[in-house]
Amino acid sequence: MPRLTRRTLLTATLAAAGGVPAAAIPVRAARADPGKTALHWLDGLPRETVGGATWGVPWARGTLPVHTPLALTAGDGTPVAVQSWPLAYWPDGSLKWTGHAIGAGGEKDRYLLAPGEPQTPDSPVTVKRQGGDIVLANGTIEIRLATRGSVPIVNLRRGGRVTASNGRLVLRLQDRPDDETVVPRQSSYQGHVERAEIEQSGPVRAVVRLSGSYRRTEAGPRRILPWTLRVCLAAGEAVRLVHSFTWDADAGRDFVRGLGLRVDVPLSDETYDRHIRFGVVGGGVWGEPVRVLTGLRRDPGAAVDAAQVQGTATPPQSAWNPQVSGSFGQLAEWNDFRLSQPSAHHFTVAKRTTPAGCWLTHAGRGRRASGFGYAGGPSGGLGFGLAEFWPRFPRALDIRGAASDRAQVTLWSWAPDAPAMDLRHYDTTAHGLDLAYEDVQAGFSTPEGIVRSDEMVLWAFAATPSRDRIAALSAALEAPPQIVADPAAYHAAGVFGRWSLPDRTTPARAALEKALDDQIAFYAGQVDQRDWYGYWNYGDVMHTYDADRHEWRYDVGGYAWDNAELGTDAMLWYAFLRSGDPAVFRLARAMTRHVSEVDTYHAGRFAGLGSRHNVSHWGDGAKEARVGESFTKRFAYYLTADELLGELLRSSLRADRTLLTVEPLREVLPPQTLAPTRLRIGPDWYALVSNWLTEWERTGDTRWRDRIVTGMTDIAGFPAGLFTGEAGGAVGFDPATGHLTNFDKGDYLGGYNLAMAFCGEQILWEALSLIDAPAFEAVFLDFARYVLAPSAEKIARYGFDFNPGAFPTIYSRVTAWAGEVLHDASLRRRGWDQFLNDPAGKPWPAAVTVSGPLVPSPVQEIPAGDIATNDAAQRGLAIISLLAIAPGEAPV
């Protein structure tokens, strides 16, 4: 076959089109002014924020020079203090994404971001080093952090008063699970700071990153669970904390009994003026004083009753009923309080007077706590919050010593009154691909290297907040207020590849849009109905349904947890970008957090890779670059400017070296010696391309671009192009240089069904929009043109027929893209036809309710047999892409 170039391909295949067309320019929504971006709150104007807000904004190529200052104004033109920083760059050096932050207070419903000098805050946030500490201040509160030692948070002050001190990270371990007959031995660890870095220094927002490890408080040198703690301060009363740890313990002998943040809270008010508060989802508040004066045999007076309920200072004792003021010292002082959320559907509040007395476990109850708590009085107190409280059970908020001069507050990310955390695989034997669709390999079902994070907030209050304000703070804690742009703004910026805005202009297109909306709403409902919650589970969905049991296959090998297989997360993010729907945003955000932390390895043997779908999130033996790829994580990073996610994205670059010892095809093909390791062009190399592309655009470092170009050049020189290699595209790979090696074996033999299945086409489209690689574009175009072509066309082109084994819905997009580039309407129609005629692409019928003796409680299911999330993800991605690439051929 003659060497293929883009020009020879276009000339040969499009003679009838009248010349050689240029690549089609994507049609994008017009932006009112590409140098300005209108912004709004995702859920509408919030009553409270959690320490302000951070977000990202995209800019069209060439629009915003790198050193352009940006100003924020409210909808009424009022300047708003804003801090801005670069997140990503276009190849020409202009800004592609910028990150922004505002403080708490005075929020407006709409904003406008545009070039200009930013407003200076009245009280700038500052960061300074004092001796061995770092001090952050905003004019209202001040937090002092240690740069070494076992007390990361030295103290939190407001107006000279210490609100909290001695903040430390606590960990309890036991040496065996709870279900054994032997009593477990427990040990205590505390987080030690080993490094401190200032990431942002104001004037609107400051961020300090502390890192270290947990060390035993008893004798012994052991260090485990490397952790980071980001401390973020903006204007207002709140400090936001983001804690993460990497699992490096032994899942067979280390069982977490408790994990949390503990602080001391000085108290000086009379115990009848000290108040405990817990927030409840939906606006409820549990609140009681430490010493209760209401409900007595003798009433103290209406003003005293009101103060006890409202949390304000009681009148002087001289104004009380003398029968109470003379003998209230006999009343109980409730010293300890505990809110426990053992499941997603129930919480309890317990309290006691002393460790020598029993807990009153019926002090309060409800369905879902918000994660907000408070301990203090009229002279001030500490508010504390743990985000994703009920979805990430078992959680707890614990207060000890509320009747003393120093209470101890613990935010338990994993509650110690719950069963110990068990990270072992669900079985000791594998159950096979043929029946259970499971690829378990010895030593591979390990959590070593995975991450989990928690977001916490500390508020330094001048007095006990009102119940109405606690309800507002609870709402902000459960659904953190997020600033976003309109869908048209994201679309016009030309980011994230090829995607469309909704098109409901014809009945058939409206039906497609409805199918997309309906399937996302169905999954959102399934999360709650099927209880897809829990510390390690929240954010994931199930892979395949069992219609016989009316249950997802939670216990069947590779059919259980989905781990974002075939782009479930990308489908959700594209759906948000084109709709702006808050519910879709939160579903996608939770999934990205889960996949980037739980399903992806960031250290150890599998660093940079992720785990294929399984009963255990990390149980499958297929450790794949496609799961950890940056492409599907960038949505959340750029939209939220989340520093931790940015850090996790960077660790995906470790996959290059990891592939030397964890080769994707090790179980399929015999060993080879022609290259340092072996991978598939798709999805493996495409995933690496997404990692390199992300690092290139984030840093401007062209070394990462050059790795992409190196591989593209190699593939362009392979005679079979993207049809190269056995087992779906096996080629050699050298992590040191990025070069790919042709083994001259198995070309055109098929098995390319998964090559593009993990957003491979989007990765290549975006890469080609940034890199001039005409020879590679030609082989990509050749692949796209013929991967779903009928036999006659393949024979005419190659001289023989072959079956690529490609799924129609997955490859409908590249087929239509070939038609777009080649100006060939018949190819664009073929792309649509392949999708519309594929049973996997058919919209699901409406969900029905199953009840009665078939199920324990009524559930919704799709009456279409054993449905699969793979189909839902690919169907959604196809609709979104095809409407962008071939809108003229869309059904009417």
Lookup: tokens for 200:
């942002």
Mean pLDDT of 558-584: 97
Secondary structure element (H or E) that encloses residue 545, with its range:
strand 545-546
pTM metric for this prediction: 0.95
Contact 482, 572 (CB under 8 A): no
Q: What are the tens digits of pLDDT across the range 281-299?
A: 999 999 999 999 999 999 9
What confidence score (pLDDT) does residue 23 get? Answer: 33
Closest Cα partner for 502 from 485, 484, 515?
Answer: 515
Q: Is a pLDDT exceeding 90 seen at residue 19?
A: no
What confidence score (pLDDT) does residue 32 get? Answer: 59
Mean pLDDT of 340-347: 98
What confidence score (pLDDT) does residue 11 get? Answer: 33
Contact 165, 263 (CB under 8 A): yes
Pairwise CA distance, residues 578 & 499, whole Å: 8
Lookup: tokens for 83:
């801090």
What confidence score (pLDDT) does residue 262 get? Answer: 98
User: Amino acid identity of 65?
Assistant: P
Mean pLDDT of 754-762: 95
What confidence score (pLDDT) does residue 219 get? Answer: 67
Lowest mean pLDDT among 45-54, 219-228, 450-459: 219-228
Query: DSSP per residue over 806-833, as a string?
Result: --HHHHHHHHHHHHHHTT-HHHHHHHHH
What confidence score (pLDDT) does residue 22 get? Answer: 31
Q: Is a pLDDT exceeding 50 seen at residue 534?
A: yes
What confidence score (pLDDT) does residue 404 get? Answer: 98
Q: Is a pLDDT exceeding 50 seen at residue 6?
A: no
Q: Give the phi and the psi of residue 347 in degrees, each rounded to 5.
A: -130, 160
What confidence score (pLDDT) does residue 260 get? Answer: 98
Q: What are the tens digits of pLDDT across the range 379-401?
A: 999 999 999 999 999 999 999 99
What confidence score (pLDDT) does residue 565 get? Answer: 96
Q: Is a pLDDT exceeding 50 seen at residue 498?
A: yes
Mean pLDDT of 525-530: 97
What confidence score (pLDDT) does residue 736 get? Answer: 98
pLDDT over 70 percentage in the chain:
96
Lookup: tokens for 598:
């739980």
Q: Is a pLDDT exceeding 50 seen at residue 502?
A: yes
What confidence score (pLDDT) does residue 57 get? Answer: 98
CA dihedral 104, 109, 110, 115 (to 10 degrees): -20
Secondary structure element (H or E) that encloses residue 323, with its range:
helix 322-325
pLDDT over 90 percentage in the chain:
94
End-to-end CA distance of the chain: 41
Closest Cα partner for 636 from 565, 574, 567, 564?
Answer: 574
Lookup: tokens for 687:
């995933």
Helix ranges, 653-701 (H): 655-658, 686-699
Written in H, E and C, the secondary structure of 376-433 is: EECCEEEEEEECCCCCCCCEEEEEECCCCCEEEEEEEEECCCCCCCCCCCCCCCCCCH
Q: Is a pLDDT exceeding 60 seen at residue 17?
A: no
